[in-house]
Structure 1
Amino acid sequence: MRNTTTKPRVAAALLVGTLMSYGHVYAQGAPQSITEKRTDVVQLGSGYRASKLAGADVFNKTRDNIGTIDDLIVSPGGEHATYAILSVGGFLGMGKHLVAIPFGDLQVTNRRVVLPEATKKSLEALPEFKYAD
């Protein structure tokens, strides 16, 4: 009976010897740094999805529909607050007036967005928001 385990052992020993003779082996590519941050999922879970807020009607404390959320503007790096861009007035998208409201001024409860003290007139009196080119 022949010993068939000798050839694989010799091949493995040659491979290990060859690799060890090269000294240090470096991975290809540039070194990368990865910064990890823990996310508190409970805190994150109490936030609002932008995709669900866009297009939502905005009401005041007397339940009058005073506008619609057109967009959310989030500043890079968290330097400033998030702003809700409200579409006020107009008809079927024509003649609408866009205004920027600090998101913290809005109250979101029971799937309803409320800007308590606002009226259509008070929002239309605000300076018009225009998107940068």
Structure 2
Amino acid sequence: MKLVHFTIVAGIALSAPAISYAQVAGSTLLGVSVGELRDVTVGWSAKRQILGHTVYNNMDERVGSIDDIIVTTGKAVSYAIVNAGGFLAVAKHNVAIPVSQFQLNGDKLVLPGATRDALKAAPEFEYAN
């Protein structure tokens, strides 16, 4: 009986390194490699640092807020959807703005030269069906 238990435990112990090796970070399984994980951890969080945050112009006036981020099929963040609507965003007017036009000034997202009226006059962004 003890020999059977020993054989089972020995079999599990010998197969454990093979099982753990199959899930090493950076393998072709799900997730990211250790190198990619470093990039992810120092990158921007859309939820924490972008979405819902106020957009200012270079005169420190509030001109809208970030409602969404558009990632193109090429996997690049290309556009921010800015809500330039009315008070407390009751009347939405979403405008697509290339992310290259934004500047980061301290902890503020700045859209140089923008005014609330100019954003409201821009064509409204609508999601494809």
The question of a shared fold, defined as TM-score above 0.5 by the shorter chain, is answered with yes
Do structure 1's residue 128 and structure 2's residue 124 form an aligned pair?
Answer: yes
1:73 maps to 70
> CA–CA distance in 1 between the matches of 2:39 and 2:128?
35
Is the Cα contact below 8 Å between 2:69 and 2:77 reproduced in 1?
no
Alignment of 1:63-102 (within 5 A): 63-78=60-75, 81-102=77-98
1:15 maps to none
1:59 corresponds, among 56, 61, 65, to: 56
User: Once superposed, what is the RMSD of the aligned Cα atoms?
Assistant: 2.9
The structure with the larger Rg is 1
SS in 1 for 2:88: coil
Shift of 1:121: 1.6
Q: Which runs of 4+ in 1 moved over 3 A?
A: 35-38
Percent identity, aligned pairs only, is 39
1:34 corresponds, among 28, 43, 46, to: 28
Mark the runs of 5 or more structure 2 residues left unpaired by the alignment: 8-26
SS in 1 for 2:36: coil
Residues 46-87 of structure 1 show CA distances to partners (whole Å, capped at 9, x for unaligned) of x32100211100001110100111111112332x54210000
Mark the runs of 5 or more structure 1 residues left unpaired by the alignment: 1-6, 13-32
> CA–CA distance in 1 between the matches of 2:40 and 2:125?
31
> CA–CA distance in 2 between the matches of 1:132 and 1:91?
26
SS in 2 for 1:104: helix
Q: How many matched pairs? A: 105
1:112 corresponds, among 80, 104, 108, to: 108
> CA–CA distance in 1 between the matches of 2:84 and 2:57?
13
> CA–CA distance in 1 between the matches of 2:40 and 2:128?
32
Q: Which amino acid aligns with 2:28?
A: I
Alignment of 1:10-49 (within 5 A): 34=28, 38-39=35-36, 41=38, 45=42, 47-49=43-45
> TM (normalized to structure 1)?
0.64
